[in-house]
Amino acid sequence: MQSTTQSLDTQCRSDFPVLERRVRDDKALVYLDNAATTQKPIQVIDAITDYYKNHNSNIHRAVHALAEESTEAFEVTRSKVAKFLNIEKSEEIIFVKGTTEAINLVAYAWGRDNVQKGDIVVTTEYEHHSNIVPWQLLTQETGAELRYVDIDENGELMLEQLDEHLATGKVKLVAVSHVSNVLGTITDIKKVIKKCKDAGAKILVDGAQAVPHMKVDIGNLGCDFYAFSAHKMLGPTGVGVLWARKELLENMKPYQGGGDMIREVHKQETTWNDLPYKFEAGTPNVADVICFAAAIDYLTKIGMDNVRNHEIELTKYALEKMSKVKGLIIYGPKDAQRQGGVISFNFKDVHPHDVATIIDKNGVAIRSGHHCAQVLMEKLEVAATNRASFYIYTTKQEVDVLIDSLEQVAKVFKL
């Protein structure tokens, strides 16, 4: 990474080998599917190679040199996550395989003991399936009720509905995205957390689309559970983080039983290991957790405020140009300050898969489908949408290629 006054994409682009790719009849790859997963810089790729070449070993048990190195590197990542998100106690950080597993862990290990018949769990219309289905399973199993906070025409949460739910006094947990993966809407998370705290409800925040894109200060946020994934922030797939307040984790039963999560095992009973290991049964994803540290280092060096500002600039630029494309409908806030670097859109009466296929010929990778958010698709009364999402290496020229491609779609479909 060069450190100059150049734009962020110019500074870091050469660190991403895959961005050199040419696809579909030798077109330069324009990767705009960053909300699904981001590309990896060479620093992260080198870290994983280095681990397997020089250090590979299981962690936490053996006393030999490699095991010590691996254990140390694994725990260094935990400290780096803590520092990155201003978390005081690193034992509150549980490594899981992704946001989905983090949320499921809470639904099982906390939910099964704390949610009963007659209780209410609240989620929202703009959640990913991973923040809906675990709560459906929990409420169906316990006889509790699952309620939703709807969105308004700008794709923002109607918080007065949250007030109504909380006023019943029966809400045990509110599960909400920090940033919507489809609309990009940034939840007024401090306000939501305060409402939950005032009502005595626990709050889980799905930060999969927030932590990669903006400064998140978990230490001062005041929520109870926070989940996110490494692969959406330059890191490897198969690594996620659940953060939860220590007193909650201490009172929760383990999520899985097995090696590493125990203190003593006897024929009929077992005592649990300390936090965080109580929730990390079995050999974890050692290599990927270790190379996740390189992703955190990379983002720390750039600075999360710079990441956010770059995305605001791109989103503003793209929204302005897209609003001029014939027949294009944009969903969500349509305001770069109020949304992440995510824009969902459709053409009037053109299916998103036709859009994606046509623009894929120009090397443009966007996502089309329901984005694991069918509840939201129902609300928008569409089967699917197209979604373009940006990251640190996205350039304005790439947005221009997207716009040109969208003009082609309008032409093919005679809009």
Partner 1 sequence: MSGDPIYTEMIIEYSRNPSNFGKIENPQIHRHDSNPLCGDSIDLYVNVDGTKITDVKFDGKGCAICMACTSVLTEMIQNKTLDEVKNFQKDELLAELGLEHLIKTSPVRIKCALLSLKALKYGIYSYFTEKMNDVKAAGNLKEEAASLY
| Active-site residue list | 372
Binding site for partner 1 (CB under 8 A): 349-354, 357-358, 368-370, 377, 383-384, 408, 411-414
Task: State the Rg of the chain over Cα.
Answer: 22
- Residue closer to partner 1 (CB basis): 241 or 356: 356
- Residue closer to partner 1 (CB basis): 222 or 369: 369
Query: With contact defined as beta carbons under 8 Å apart, do 278 and 92 qualify?
Result: no
Q: Collect all residues with Cβ–Cβ distance below 8 Å to 352 and sequence separation of at least 6.
A: 346, 368, 369, 384, 385, 386
Q: How far is the CB of 368 from partner 1 (least distance, A)?
A: 7
Cα-Cα-Cα-Cα dihedral of 218, 222, 223, 227, to 10°?
A: 0
- Residue closer to partner 1 (CB basis): 170 or 351: 351
- Residue closer to partner 1 (CB basis): 270 or 408: 408
- Residue closer to partner 1 (CB basis): 90 or 408: 408
> Concatenated DSSP letters for 86-115?
T-S-GGGEEEESSHHHHHHHIIIIIIHHH-
| Cα gap 31→37, rounded to integer Å | 10
| Cα gap 372→412, rounded to integer Å | 28
- Residue closer to partner 1 (CB basis): 313 or 354: 354
| Cα gap 319→190, rounded to integer Å | 27
Q: How far is the CB of 30 from partner 1 (least distance, A)?
A: 17
| Cα gap 262→278, rounded to integer Å | 7
Q: In terms of DSSP H, where are the helices of 323-351?
A: none
Q: How far is the CB of 127 from partner 1 (least distance, A)?
A: 18
The first and second tokens of residue 216, run together, are: 């998140």
| Cα gap 362→377, rounded to integer Å | 27
Q: How far is the CB of 33 from partner 1 (least distance, A)?
A: 14
Residue 375, Cα to own-chain centre: how many angstroms?
A: 18
CA dist 46 → 80, 236, 287 (Å): 18, 12, 12
Q: How far is the CB of 408 from partner 1 (least distance, A)?
A: 5
Q: How far is the CB of 346 from partner 1 (least distance, A)?
A: 12
